[in-house]
Amino acid sequence: MELIDRKRELEELRGLPERRRPCLGIIYGRRQVGKTFLLARAWPDARAFYFLAADSTPDLNRQDLLRELAAWAGRQLDFNDYPTWRTVFRLFVDLAAKEPLVIVLDEFQYLLGGADDAASQLVAVWDREAQGRPLTLILCGSAVSTMEGLQAGGQPLFGRANWSMRLQPFDYRDAARMQPDRSLRDAALLYGVFGGTPRYLATVRPNETIGSVATRALLSPNGEVHLQLSTLLEQERGIRDPAALRSVLAAIASGRTGINEIAQASGLGDQPHVVRRALDVLEGLELVGRSRNFGAGMRAPYRHYVLDNAVLFWHRFVLPHRSRLARDDEKAIWREMVAPYLNDYMGPVFERITEQAFARYHDRWKLPGAELWAGWSGRDRNRRSIEIDVVARLDHGRMLAGEVKWSSNPRGFELHNGLTRDLEDLANSGHGWAREAMSGELLYVSAGGFTEEFARWAAGEKRVHLLRLEDLYPE
C-alpha cells in the first residue's frame, strides 16, 4: 500500500541514523493513525529491530523483547543476564558498537511504571553510556497524554529527544487519496463516514458504493470498523468510566453542544462534574473539540462537537440501533435509518472540510490565511434566529463571512441575499464584527455548484468567492 501524506515524517525518520550518533525519537498519536505503517517503511535497508509491546506487565514485555531480539540477532540471550530495563538498554548500546542500529519500541507506554520504569532506566544509560554509538532509538506510543508527559518538564525524557512527532489522522484531502478513483462527492462522503483514520479507510474496496461499504464495515456487528469502534474507549489505558464517556459522546453526536444539554441528554443531569471530567478526557483523546461564536468573550460558553467523523457516525447511526442490528438485516438499517438522513449529517462535516480546504488552498484562491476561523449562531435583537457557517479574521485584518452548503442542487442569489441580511441584522444588533464583514470578503461553497446567473455576477465582484467541490479537490 502506498504511503500517503507522511513524506516529511519519513524523510526526518530516515535522517536520524545518518547522524551516526545516539538519536532518540518519539512518535505518538491515536490508535490506527498509521504510526506502525510509517515505521515499517522508514528504514528498509537499515539494521533495524522492531518490538511491539503488549498490554501486560513490563517484566513480561522485557522477557518477550529479549526472546525476539535473540532471534533477530542470531545469538543466545539469557533472561537472567538482563533482569532490568537498564541492562536491556545497555544491550542495545553494545549491539550498536560496530555499526549503526535502529531500535523501535512500539506501544512504549506498556513498558512504564513500577520501580523498573523503562523511561527512567533509559535515561541512566542514555546520558552516560550511549555517547559515541550510532544508536537510533524510537519510542512509539498510542497513549497520547502519556507520551507527551514523558517529554514534559521534570519528566525523565525532558530535553533528550532529538526528534518528536505527534501523528495526526488524515484530513479530507489525504483521506481521498486512499480512494483516488472516486467521484468528488463520494470522496467527501467517505470522509464523512470513516473520517481520517487510515485503518478505517483501508477497509473500503474499489468501486464499492457508500451504502455497501458502510453496511459491511460499520453497521454489521462483524464489520472491521464496527469492532474497532465498539471498544474504542476500552482500548485506552486508564479510562475509568467508559460508559459515561460513551454517553457524553452520544449526546454530542445527537446535536447537543452545551454542558447542560449534554448532561441532560447523557442521563448525567445531576452530575455536571462527571460531564466536565468526561469532556476533558474526550478532548485529550482528540475525539471532541470545542468552539465559541466569533467575537464571543472568554467567559462565553463553548459549543462541543465530535472531531472524528467515524466516531460521530457510530454514535449517530450505529449505537442507537445496535439491538436491532444484532437481529435484523443491516441493509435495512442503512435504507431506513441512515440513507434518508445522510445529507443532513454531512452539512456540518462539509463545513469542517471547507475549513481544512481553506488552510490548504487559500493561496490558490488568492486569499490570505485565516488568523481565526469560526462561525456564529444565535439571535439578533429582534429574536430572529441566525446561523452563519463561516466567520473568519484573515491575516491581513479583513473579515471573511460565508455559507457552506452540501446540497446537490446548484445554489444562487439566495445565498448572498441571506448572508447579507444576516450580517446587516447582526450589525444593527451591536455586533461590530458583522459591520466589518459587510464590506469584507464573502465566501460561498456549494457541493452542487452554482447557477449560471449567480456565477456570472460573482465573477464581476472582487470580494465574492465561489468554491465548488472541484475547487476543494484540486489535482
**What is the 3 state secondary structure string of 270-307?**
CCHHHHHHHHHHHHHCCCEEEECCCCCCCCCCCEEEEC
Per-residue pLDDT of the chain (475 residues; tens, 9 = 90+): 556 778 888 899 999 898 889 999 999 988 888 898 899 889 988 899 999 999 888 999 999 999 999 999 999 999 899 999 999 999 999 999 989 999 999 999 999 988 888 999 999 899 889 888 999 999 999 888 888 888 888 888 888 899 999 989 999 999 999 988 899 999 999 999 999 999 999 999 988 999 999 999 999 999 999 999 998 887 776 677 888 899 999 999 999 999 999 999 999 888 888 999 999 989 988 899 999 999 998 889 899 999 999 999 999 999 989 888 988 789 999 999 999 999 999 999 999 999 999 999 999 999 999 999 999 999 999 999 999 999 999 999 999 999 999 999 999 999 999 999 999 999 999 999 999 999 999 999 999 999 999 999 999 999 999 999 999 999 7
Residue 122 domain boundaries: 7-166
Q: Which residue has the cell 502506498?
A: 2
Q: Over 361-379, what HEC string results? A: HCCCCCCCCEEEEEEEEEE
Which 3 state secondary structure label does DSSP give 69? Answer: helix
Q: How many domains does the chain have?
A: 3
Domain end marker among 345, 370, 401? 345
135 and 33 within one domain: yes
Hey, what amino acid is at 52?
A: L
322 and 185 within one domain: yes
pTM (predicted TM-score): 0.88
204 and 142 within one domain: no
CATH number of the domain bearing residue 253: 1.10.10.10
455 and 382 within one domain: yes
Residue at 357 is within a domain = no
**What rounded mean pLDDT belongs to the chain?**
92
Q: β-strand 23-28 against 303-306: which pairing, if any?
A: unpaired
26 and 139 within one domain: yes
Residue at 126 is within a domain = yes
27 and 153 within one domain: yes
What pLDDT is recorded for position 144? Answer: 83
CA-CA-CA-CA dihedral for 279, 281, 283, 287, to nearest 10: -100
- Residue 386: what are its φ and ψ, rounded to 5°? -135, 135
Hey, what amino acid is at 277?
A: R
334 and 190 within one domain: yes
C-alpha cell at 446: 456549494
pLDDT digits (tens, 9 = 90+) for 66-93: 999 999 999 999 989 999 999 999 999 9
Domain end marker among 123, 147, 166? 166
| Direct distance between the N- and C-terminal alpha carbons of the chain, in angstroms, rounded to an integer | 20
Contact between residue 268 and residue 275 where contact means Cβ atoms under 8 Å apart? yes
Residue at 259 is within a domain = yes
185 and 134 within one domain: no
DSSP conformation letters of 166-198: EPPPP-HHHHHTTSTTS-HHHHHHHHHHHTT-H
129 and 84 within one domain: yes
What pLDDT is recorded for position 354? Answer: 98
CB burial of residue 185 (10 Å; 0-12, 13-18, 19+): middle
Residue at 354 is within a domain = no
Which 3 state secondary structure label does DSSP give 392? Answer: strand
- Residue 102: what are its φ and ψ, rounded to 5°? -110, 125
Residue at 390 is within a domain = yes
Question: From CA 188, how far away is CA 219, in angstroms rounded?
Answer: 19
pLDDT digits (tens, 9 = 90+) for 301-334: 899 999 999 999 999 999 989 888 988 789 999 9
Residue at 350 is within a domain = no
CATH number of the domain bearing residue 367: 3.40.1350
43 and 148 within one domain: yes
Which 3 state secondary structure label does DSSP give 311? Answer: helix
86 and 136 within one domain: yes
* CB proximity list for 16: less than 8 A, separation 6 or greater: 23, 25, 102, 136, 138, 162, 163
177 and 156 within one domain: no
Residue at 207 is within a domain = yes
